[in-house]
Amino acid sequence: MVAAACPALLVSAPASNQGKTLVTAALARAWRDSGLRVRGFKCGPDFLDPMILATATGHPVYNLDLAMNGEADIQARLHQAALDADVIIIEGVMGLYDGAPSSADIAERFRIPVALTVDAAGMAQTFGALVAGLYRYRPALIPAGVIGNRTGSSHHADLLRQSLPADIPWLGALPKSDNFSLPERHLGLHRADEIEDLEQRISAAAQALLASQPDGKLPLPPATDFAAPAHTPADTFRPLAGKTIAIARDAAFCFIYPANLDCLREMGAQLEFFSPLHDQALPAADALWFPGGYPEIHAATLSANAAMREALQLAWQAGIPMLAECGGMMALSEAIDSTPMFGLLPGSTSMQPRFQGLGVQFADFADGRLNAHTFHYSRMETTLPPMHSAITQRGKPGEAIYRHGSLTASYLHFYFPSNPQAAAALFTA
């Protein structure tokens, strides 16, 4: 394969809570409404922001994280997107330089122009100084322009625009408005399907951004050349051929990387989805996967589903391989904050006032290392000894990984493409 060129933009900010997701969604929707094919990505291992961006673009949104994905995986995904799209848009994570690796590291490695969005409330001429400093901190970055977010008036937007150095383009402004703000909770933004008027909010933001352009049009970023991947997956590697994996997916279990679903299908698996909240029986399957989500919010409904509890107990007794990640592990434990759960894993969990785990970690299995991510507010208390523990990026002990009969459980969210063979073993062992 040869390199593919496509206009591309990475949207970052000075810090978290600057409005990156809203601005990225507005840009994507404005381009999509003009007839362009838009593909979106999210820096970091986040689950919630990609749901918003998928609504804006009309396509699944994949994660880009140098630690979790690895450089080769990112290269392959960007190259494929460049073959399919008219424009690629990437939402950064936290502030531009926050994290190791950071959004800036991805932008520099793949030569992707960087746009900055800045919450300009309470700010005027300092806006230009802040933006100039962010770009000049690492001169190798390609400045694509800046968006003023939460502006108070057209005059305020003019002050921001006039404060910019001549070499930094103005990409427009989004006024402060309840019409397109996005609600949040303890793990981040609300799920896209919980926001009933999300389409209207994104469209309103896109229209407001277009209205701030001198000609009412949103310019495309410059084209970026994306190199072809050095290696392509082997079509003959299909360890899950002929197997059906049943995946919990509903309001309580929604943290699923699209890349993980692709990986399972590429290894030959047939995927079936079910709702532990509402279904009374399990699909016929060779393995079960309980991903993370919000079981603590839906604990009473899960607890009341006695038929699902019995079905899961029978499946576990039959030795059907099961993987439970984070919220999935919480639901398969004995209780969440004293509310009885499905009871496959000895021990219980309790919600805490601040997060208990955060960051990319690495788990070593018989088939090699599987990359993962953790972010949770609950604590697990169990007498079950860990099978082993992951390690953090600093080489310190990380999250425990438990094995109880055919059940593998951890607070980790595994990234299957980092080691498909090790991922397949979780559903066949």
User: So what's the pLDDT on residue 247?
Assistant: 98
pLDDT in tens, 131-142: 999 999 999 999
Which residue carries 């060129």 as its tokens? 5
User: So what's the pLDDT on residue 25?
Assistant: 96
Section 409-422 average pLDDT: 98
234, pLDDT greater than 70: no
Neighbours of 410 (CB within 10 A): 28
Pair of tokens at residue 384: 């079950």
Q: Which CATH number is 4-226 given? A: 3.40.50.300
107, pLDDT greater than 80: yes
Q: How confident is the model at residue 119 (pLDDT cuts 50, 70, 90)?
A: very high
Name the E strands within 61-176: 62-64, 87-91, 114-119, 143-151, 170-175
Section 158-180 average pLDDT: 91
Class of domain 244-426: alpha beta
Secondary structure letter of residue 250 according to DSSP: B
pLDDT in tens, 12-41: 999 999 999 999 999 999 999 999 999 999
Same fold, 4-226 and 244-426: yes
pLDDT in tens, 187-208: 567 777 777 888 899 999 999 9
Sign of CA dihedral 403, 408, 410, 414: positive
Task: Tell me the CA distances in angstroms from 60 to 16, 50, 262, one per residue in order.
Answer: 23, 8, 11
- The answer to whether residue 263 is catalytic is no
- The pTM of this model reads 0.94
- Residue closest to 61 by CA, chosen among 49, 73, 70, 71: 49
Q: Where are the domains of the chain?
A: 4-226, 244-426
216 close to 222: Cβ distance less than 8 angstroms = no
Lowest-confidence segment of 45-59, 225-239, 325-339 by average pLDDT? 225-239
Q: How confident is the model at residue 186 (pLDDT cuts 50, 70, 90)?
A: low
212, pLDDT greater than 70: yes
User: So what's the pLDDT on residue 237?
Assistant: 85
